[in-house]
Amino acid sequence: MEIYEALDEMDELIQSASRIPLTGKCMIDLEAMLECLDRIRTMLPEEIRQARWVTREKERLIKEAQEEAQRQIGEAKRHIERLAAESEVVRQAQYRAEEILAQAQAVAKEIRAGAAAYADEVLGKMEQALEKSITAVREGRNELRQPPKTQTGQSQTVKTAG
């Protein structure tokens, strides 16, 4: 940087200046010193402008980074809220599904019990009907096994060839 070179040159002018004994003062080349100061003055506005630009650019980048960070934080919060809401919806849906399943199982149990009772009733009636039929068949067979009766009430023996 040229400004540092001009400052180094001024420092060298002061270091190499003639000393006035017992005073702590020195004699320097005024023209050389003024020339260095003029160069510094012309360079300073450019250096200051660049420093200001760097500062503004740094502040702009920091602001953009903060805005981006805030945007990402907001997006993350919305995502978390969405996940939490979805999780709550899923939890409620699971709870409701379990309720429906329990109700369906209870209804199925009632239907099975009703069907079993109905089947038992039908089978009981069928059993009674079959018992009546069996009784009638037995009675019919018994009648067939008895010898035929004559008009006087005595049974006749039928001879079969054999």
pTM of the model: 0.37
Residues 6 or more apart from 7 whose CB is under 8 A from it? 36, 40
Give the separation between CA 83 and CA 72, rounded to whole angstroms.
16
Enclosing H/E stretch for 118:
helix 30-145
Residue 43 has a pLDDT of 81
Q: What is the pLDDT of residues 33-58, one digit of tens each?
A: 898 888 888 887 777 778 888 889 99
Residue 162 has a pLDDT of 47
pLDDT value at 8 more than 80 = yes
Residue 96 has a pLDDT of 92
Q: CA dist 85 to 19, 123, 155, Å? A: 84, 56, 98
pLDDT value at 151 more than 60 = yes
Average pLDDT, whole number, for the chain? Answer: 86
Give the separation between CA 68 and CA 62, rounded to whole angstroms.
10
Q: What is the pLDDT of residues 91-118, one digit of tens each?
A: 888 899 999 999 999 999 999 999 999 9
Cβ atoms of 40 and 3 closer than 8 Å? yes
Q: Where are the domains of the chain?
A: 2-140
Q: What is the pLDDT of residues 58-77, one digit of tens each?
A: 999 999 999 999 999 999 99
